[in-house]
Amino acid sequence: MQKEIRARLDSLPRTEASFVEPMDCLSVSKLPEGLEWIWEIKFDGYRALAVKSGTGVALFSRRRKSLNSQFPYIVEALADLPAGTVLDGEVVAIDESGRPNFNLLQNFRAEASRIRYYIFDLLCWEGRDLTHVPMVERRALLKSVVVIPDKRIRISDYFEAAPKDLLSAVREQRLEGIIGKRKDSLYQPGKRSGAWIKYRLNRGQEFVIGGYFPGPHGLDSLIVGYYDGEKLMYVARTRNGFVPASRRQVFSRLKHLVTPACPFVNLPETRRSRFGEELNAEKMKKAVWLRPEAVAQIEFLEWTEGDRLRHSKFVGLREDKNPRSVVKEQAGDA
């Protein structure tokens, strides 16, 4: 290790390597300009923090759930990290065309050849706290000190190009979007300050599951929404995207959450839909309500003027998302 890097690390305060609540990105519909930003590709995977202590490697979801049993080959690949290390990154499944695929991540967790761990931040190294070091310096240290030859572990690239130029490449590769980070940003655990932003190209995001309609394989459709402050707002009844096996699987994951009360503050709907799809009081009698503790990834065509989703489709469950952090996101059109 170069003397300058060693001296910089030794100047930082000591800390115990442990779980750090991930810093969040603010969703935006317009990209900022300026040299103070760097840009990353937005992955479609599970946010994961890797902690190496004296007892070994622990891989955590953003909600502090252990991912060791789900991704043992990632844990194995990180075994040579020095004790006192904390990394922030994303577990991603790569399809045959080389693109991240969230559905593949859910269905092929045991297929090690498809799984990658992309590291994009270094929060602690050999017991030294880097969270108060500017982001661009953390990235430089990450690239200098974290050397893992295993192909399952990658250090995510970043770009200083104009964001619109990067968007052209992202569109061409049919990727989800881009992440912007201020070069001078410190790591703010659990915060969505706007120092990190995300810009989506696709129409899709996470939504909270607040109920379902029963069907032959446990459920026919999901009832989903997002939080506006403390209020859970209904946006869609989602039926597409399922096959019999996935209906049974999702039903088995939700049935313990049944509750008598509807969690959505804007139901029943009283305004008639032109397609007769409104969730009115009569239709609500057939619904099964759930405690809002599960999150689904949903794709859709567009938002309607009434703040509903048009042509929504279930993609998968999001175990890594805190339901209370699910808000209405912006999709870019630049």
Task: Give the mean pLDDT of 216-227.
Answer: 95
* Predicted local confidence at residue 153, as pLDDT: 96
What is the mean pLDDT of the segment spanning 53-76? 94
Final residue of a structural domain among 159, 178, 200: 200
The answer to whether residue 331 is domain-embedded is no
What is the distance between the alpha carbons of residues 79 and 57, in angstroms, rounded to a whole number?
6
Task: Answer yes or no: is 332 within a domain.
Answer: no
Give the pLDDT mean for 82-96: 94
Same domain, 209 and 193: no
Residues 79 and 221 in one domain: no
Q: Would residue 191 show up in a list of annotated catalytic residues for this protein?
A: no
Looking at the structure, tell me whether residues 218 and 159 fall in a common domain: no
Residue 281 lies in a domain: yes
If asked whether residues 145 and 271 sit together in one domain, one would say: no
Determine the 3-state secondary structure of 70 from DSSP.
coil
For residue 21, the model assigns a pLDDT of 95
> For 18-22, 110-114, 199-203, 269-273, which range has the lowest pLDDT when averaged over its residues?
110-114
Residue 26 has pLDDT above 70, yes or no: yes
Mean pLDDT score, 241-247: 91
- Confidence band (pLDDT; 50, 70, 90) for 334? very low
Does 333 reside within a domain? no
What is the C-alpha to C-alpha distance for residues 327 and 320, in angstroms, rounded to an integer?
Answer: 15
Span of 23-32, 208-217, 282-291 with lowest mean pLDDT: 23-32
**Percent of the chain with pLDDT strictly greater than 70:** 95
pLDDT at 49 over 60: yes
* CA–CA distance, 147 with 152 (Å, rounded to integer): 12
How many domains, the chain?
2
The verdict on residue 234 lying in a domain is yes
Does the N-terminal peptide bond of residue 216 adopt cis geometry, omega within 30 degrees of 0?
A: no
- Residues 10-21 have a mean pLDDT of 93
Of 200, 220, 244, which residue sits at a domain end?
A: 200
Mean pLDDT of the chain: 90
Same domain, 113 and 243: no
Looking at the structure, do residues 21 and 73 belong to the same domain, yes or no? yes
Residue 196 predicted with pLDDT over 50: yes
From CA 107, how far away is CA 198, in angstroms rounded? 26
The pLDDT value given to residue 110: 47
CA angle 229, 46, 73 (to 5 degrees): 155
| CA separation for the pair 147, 5 (Å, rounded) | 14
The pLDDT of residue 200 is above 90: no
Based on the domain organization, do 157 and 139 belong to the same domain?
Answer: yes
pTM reported for the whole predicted model: 0.76
Q: Which of the residues 42, 181, 198, 321 is marked catalytic?
A: 42
Residues 110, 72: Cα–Cα separation, whole Å:
9
Asked if residue 215 and residue 194 are part of one domain, the reply reads no
pLDDT at 275: 47
Q: What is the CATH number of the domain that holds 312?
A: 2.40.50.140
Domain extent at residue 24: 3-200
Same structural domain, 272 and 291:
yes
Residues 147 and 52 both lie in one domain: yes
- 191 lies in the same domain as 276: no
pLDDT digits (tens, 9 = 90+) for 99-138: 888 877 776 554 778 899 999 999 999 999 999 999 999 9
Residue 212 lies in a domain: yes
Strand, coil or helix: 172: helix
At 143-182, the pLDDT tens digits run 999 989 899 999 999 988 888 788 888 888 778 789 999 9
Q: Which of 127-131, 157-161, 284-288, 302-306 has the lowest mean pLDDT?
A: 302-306
Q: Nearest to residue 70, comparing CAs of 104, 34, 106, 20?
A: 106
Of 166, 200, 234, which residue sits at a domain end?
Answer: 200
Cα(123)–Cα(85) distance, integer angstroms: 8
